[in-house]
Amino acid sequence: PGVVWLCATPGNPNAEHVIKKVQCATPDEAKARYQQAVRLMGLTHTHVVKYTAVQLPPTFDYVSVVMPFYSEDLGQRVRAFHGTMGEDWICSVTLQMLNALEFLHGHEPPILHCDIKPDNIMLFNNGSQVVLMDLDASHEMHAEAELRQGGEAAGHLRVVRAGDAPRGGRHR
């Protein structure tokens, strides 16, 4: 959730960035989101968005993140496409996304994106390369977490078919 503005870098109008402003309900939420965004600034991977700046104002009511601008997302490409998409392109996009997820999950502590969808996969280099965006919904998995689900410690993934998912709670 947030508002995004397109910006041009002073002195270089071709180098475009966006500023995403994420509204926060409490100062504690704003501080936590800021700290997370600062940690995410340290990530460097071809297929994961690079945060270039983060701001927490003295009002503690929002967090702003500066990142590169990409003009097309995978959702737009799929919705606009008429015909058959090439198997090579589909495999390439899939492998790039798996590479990004392997990087995030292999981070210490592991990072779960939590909002993967076509609109959060941006295309660049004439649509041949992808970058995973929208990390503000992500979570870091900490080994000391004692949360349990189905007998498995947090951080262990378990495949659950939609019809077998537990009812009445929010599950990640």
How far apart, in whole angstroms, are the C-alpha atoms of residue 147 and residue 155? 9
Confidence at 1, pLDDT banded by 50, 70, 90: low
pLDDT tens digit string along 77-99? 999 988 888 999 999 999 999 99
Helices (H), the chain: 27-41, 74-80, 87-106
Mean pLDDT, range 166-171, rounded to an integer: 47
**What average pLDDT does the structure give for the chain?**
84
For 91, the token pair is 């495999």
Instruction: Please name the helix (run of DSSP H) or strand (run of DSSP E) that holds residue 160, with its range, or none.
Output: none
Which of residues 168 and 116 earns the better pLDDT score?
Answer: 116
Give me the pLDDT at residue 152, please.
Answer: 46
Q: Is the pLDDT at 37 greater than 90, yes or no?
A: yes
Q: Is the pLDDT at 26 greater than 80, yes or no?
A: yes
Lookup result for tokens 């965006």: 133
- pTM beyond 0.75: the answer is yes
Give me the pLDDT at residue 116, please.
Answer: 95
